[in-house]
Structure formats: C-alpha cells, structure tokens
A and B are shown apart, each in its own frame.
Chain A
Amino acid sequence: DQQVKQNSPSLSVQEGRISILNCDYTNSMFDYFLWYKKYPAEGPTFLISISSIKDKNEDGRFTVFLNKSAKHLSLHIVPSQPGDSAVYFCASINSGGGADGLTFGKGTHLIIQP
C-alpha cells in the first residue's frame, strides 16, 4: 500500500523548457515533504522541501507547490538543464508518529533532451 505515489516513471523534457514532476500522497498525517535528486549508483541529494503550513516554496530554478486538499505536490524546474537529468524522489514525514524515516515514492526519471 503505497502512501507516496509518483505515477510517472519517466519524463522527457526539452532543454530550456519547464519540467513538472508530480507526487500524490494518501496519509493525511504527512505534513512535511522533500524532493531528492539521485544519480545512478549514488546517494540521493536534497533538493527542496515544503512544510504543510505553506503552499509554495521556491529556490532558484526549483519551485515546489503543495495542494493539501488534493494531497498533491509538484516540483517545477525552469529552465530545465542537461544536468537535471536524474531520478527525482518525492518523500514525506509523518507527524503522527510511527517510523521516523522518510516515506519515499518510487521516483521519476527525468530526461532533459538537448
């Protein structure tokens, strides 16, 4: 039973355009969300996060939007660059107790085409 869902296994975007990666969650106790970027055979690196008390957080080319009523968040990358090609994981933290680690989605492989 997946609590964090990334329904697009891969996404191809032209360089310079906007990349939009989506993430849905089912657990209403999740109240902090993070996006990680991962290259093959490396550990994930933190990209950007958002607390449920906000609906938008921006950091340079990266913006995360949170729609709590829809239990949906998205990561926007604009403009997309070749170095953005990687797997992006959406992750959440449960404020209601339970295991203290992050709950991850399965990831979306972003491919930036020249």
Chain B
Amino acid sequence: DGGITQSPKYLFRKEGQNVTLSCEQNLNHDAMYWYRQDPGQGLRLIYYSQIVNDFQKGDIAEGYSVSREKKESFPLTVTSAQKNPTAFYLCASSEHGGNDRGRDRSYNEQFFGPGTRLTVL
C-alpha cells in the first residue's frame, strides 16, 4: 500500500523550541516537497528536494531546515527563528522533479501526505 505518511497529525510546542516534522514515502519518488498552509491561503513552498542529498529553498524557507539523507525521508525542522510557525504543514512527492510538458501526468503530479498541524504555544 504505497503512499506518503506524516507524523504526528497534531503537534504542540512551546515558543522557542525547535521541532521536527516527519515525512516518509514508499512510492520510490525522486522528488519531495514541503508546503505550508495558513487559513485563507494557498499552499506555499518551503523546501524541495529533487534527489537524495540535495535540496533547494522554496518561497518561504526562512526559519526552516531540511535534510534528505534517504530517498524515502524528508524531515522538516521548524526552528525558533520561524516567526509564525503555527500552521498546517504538508509534505508531497513526485516521480521526478522538474517539468516536462511532453511527459504524462505522473511526471508532474505531486502526491500529498495527510499533513501535520503544528501549534506553537
């Protein structure tokens, strides 16, 4: 049963603490992504990784860090430097990174995990 798992579903932390969100996929996808969703907002890209041991900043990377030591795993650390960490965090993966209009949809489609709601008290 292939898919993307994120744990935990709900997470509470005190202000000033770092926290790491887990994301695992068994789809054998090369690329993985982290997004953040705030109320009334679309999803915004935090970090992405096209291959193992490589990752790139997205639109709102400040205050976050990631690692990609294994193909299946792409953990996200929310550091104390992130000014508004309370949000719904979504992890996604795709077969490959990049865009190719000549390929079929699986090349471009991103599959999402169930999300982690982080609340910083």
Interface residues of A (CB under 8 A from B): 4, 6, 9, 31-32, 34, 36, 41-46, 49, 51-53, 89, 91, 93-95, 99-107
Contact = CB atoms under 8 A, between A and B. Distances in A.
A5 B50 CA distance: 27
Interface residues of B, number: 35
Contacts, number: 82
Given A42-B114, A43-B90, A99 B108 contact: no
B105 A49 contact: yes
A44 B43 contact: yes
A107 B115 contact: no
Given A31-B101, A44-B112, A104 B48 contact: no
Contacts of B85: none
B109 to A, nearest CB: 5
Given A46-B109, A101-B35, A101-B58, A41 B44 contact: no
B78 interface: no
Interface of B: 4, 6, 9, 31, 33, 35, 40-45, 48, 50, 56-59, 88, 90, 92, 97-99, 101, 105, 108-115, 117
A36 B35 CA distance: 14
A103 B6 CA distance: 22
Contacts of B92: 43, 101
B114 A43 contact: yes
A45 B114 CA distance: 10
A102 B110 contact: yes
A49 B90 contact: no
Nearest to A42: B114
Contacts of A103: 45
